[in-house]
Structure 1
Amino acid sequence: MTTIRKTLLALLAGCAMGLAAAGAQAETLRIATEGAYPPFNFVDAKGELQGFDVDIAKALCAEMKVECTIAAQAWDGIIPGLNAGQYDLIVASMSITPARQEAVNFTQPYYQAGAVLVAPKDSGLEPTADSLAGKSIGVQRASTYAKLIEANFPKADVRLYDKTDNHNLDLVSGRIDGVIAQRIIMSEWLGSSDGAAYEIKGEAMLDPAILGEGAGIALRKSDTELQARVDTALAAILENGVYDEINTRYFPFSLKPAN
């Protein structure tokens, strides 16, 4: 074999290795989450990211058969970091809103928290217009849940509070008949000593027109092919039981988005 031929073969081998490495790199997705919103995303005692969002991200990567890295990113810079190319996806319980849709694209929702009516176990209240007519219902001021009451329970006696903690205190003291708030927050409160005598009444309310579509995975607007792949993977884990298994690690109820 001549020296020239050996040199050409070496160059071709080097190019092939470079292309293989580039291909492998293209199949490594960089994912950002916040790391400060338990149980959805948080840093454990070992300094590792954990939570519902993190497990969903890993499941999507496994379904797509790609390598992924997941890193924490401060919330106020998370969308700018995506658009600057620092990572490829945001999986961080980000609600799909019109304002955010101007900056990024979203997959289909991967969960909906929804709103619930919480009242004393023996109250007999239900989340219907007739049941709540004339009843004093606490809700956080200027929240989407306040809009939900206005639209669906117009005859309720609405009491506005600055914080969910404050309407929960009035519920315990008997100054109001019930509260309407986010399902996950209220479920955690029901597990406390203060919430022991109360329960969620009826089904969770998932009104997309008022409460939004739910949380989605954010991508750059230019990454339409990747968005399609992630949506396909999301549909798969919603159907094959993987999503349900992750859900039960963190919540006693399903967060599956409405069809």
Structure 2
Amino acid sequence: MRHSNPSLAMLAAAGISLLLVTRLAMAQTDKPITVGLDGTFAPHAMPKVGGKPGEVEGFNVDLATEVAKRLKRPINIVAQEFSGLIPALNAGRFDWLAAPTTVTPERAKNLLFTEGYLNTYYQLVLKKSAPDIAGLDALKGKKITVNKGSAYDKWADTNKDRYGFEVLAFPTQTDAVQAVMAGRADANLGGNTVVAWAAKQNPTLKLGARIDEGLMWAAPFRKDDVAGRNLVENAIECMKLDGTIARLHEKWFGIKPEPGSAAVTVFKGYGVPGTDGYDPTEHKPQCG
């Protein structure tokens, strides 16, 4: 008697499902993908030097463009304030968000995420002439700026009473950093790659404390778009396997991704393990 192998059966079923989704995508090759991002979130997305008004460049711009290329679809990238991106996604204006979006338990209840493509840490940036802020206890009595609607805004609002600081929310990350440079606030709280870029571009700034909460950036979809999520995740996994994301990491951040980090690791299943919407079904990336 022959015994079936449940694991092989699961992989076969996952492969068939992905094949069907891929064929559906191929049938839509003339339909542009429309994605949204925050065009002030350098070096992930920022105004293109010498470009047309509204034209952006950066790590996430390259990432989204490459995903569309692998899906054989044209892409329309729309830049707007971060606080309006998720509502616009849920209203159907975007197919998914190219903005680096931190996967939090709260967001995972309302959105469907791909697996993470970058690890992200919260970090402070402040004026070089100011006293160092090496730890969270040093935040007492400080004014901290954040990008409105971001995960950093949420963290700051949750922890302001605990550490005794005031939160100033701004519509863009650029405004939040400029408030620090102008002396209207003591520090900006943002993603580590973003504040490192700000400090690199502005010699009057320096980096402060970094907060590691084990978070990742991933691409969010509407809850009902499982097929779209899985298709884009497959492209992201192939970009990890062939080194594309690692090359983009070096191009925009100036360093290679750490071994075992989200930029080079293909995770089991679909989505971010341990969060709502995660599908543990094993699958093999289909890379053309």
Structure 1 pair 253–181 and aligned structure 2 pair: CA distance change class (3 A): farther
TM-score with structure 1 length normalisation? Answer: 0.59
For the residues of structure 1 that align with 2:221 and 2:99, how far apart are their CA atoms?
12
Pair 1:104-2:111 in alignment: yes
Give how far 1:29 is off: 5.2
For the residues of structure 2 that align with 1:166 and 1:224, how far apart are their CA atoms?
40
For the residues of structure 1 that align with 2:91 and 2:237, how far apart are their CA atoms?
28
Give how far 1:56 is off: 0.4
Structure 1 pair 111–139 and aligned structure 2 pair: CA distance change class (3 A): farther
Give how far 1:218 is off: 1.7
For the residues of structure 2 that align with 1:77 and 1:229, how far apart are their CA atoms?
25
Query: Structure 1 vs Structure 2: percent identity of aligned residues?
Result: 16
Which residue among 141, 144, 148 is the counterpart of 1:140? 144
Which residue among 100, 108, 111 is the counterpart of 1:93? 100
For the residues of structure 2 that align with 1:146 and 1:86, how far apart are their CA atoms?
28
8 A contact 2:177–2:188 mirrored in 1 = no
1:224 maps to what in 2?
226
For the residues of structure 2 that align with 1:228 and 1:68, how far apart are their CA atoms?
19
> 1:29-75: per-residue Cα shift (whole Å, max 9, x none)?
5131235224223443224342221110122233x442131231544
8 A contact 2:145–2:180 mirrored in 1 = no
Which residue among 249, 252, 259 is the counterpart of 1:250? 252
Q: Secondary structure at the match of 1:214?
A: strand
Show structure 1 runs of 5+ residues with no match. Answer: 1-21, 171-175
More helix, by proportion: 1
2:273 maps to what in 1?
none
Q: Secondary structure at the match of 2:117?
A: coil
8 A contact 1:117–1:127 mirrored in 2 = no
Pair 1:31-2:34 in alignment: yes
Q: How does 1:150-229 map to 2 (within 5 A)?
A: 160=166, 162=168, 181-182=189-190, 183=192, 184-195=194-205, 198=206, 200=207, 204-208=210-214, 213-229=215-231
Which residue among 55, 58, 64 is the counterpart of 2:62? 55
Structure 1 stretches of 4+ with a deviation exceeding 6 A read 117-121, 132-137, 146-151, 166-170
Larger radius of gyration: 1
For the residues of structure 2 that align with 1:239 and 1:137, how far apart are their CA atoms?
46
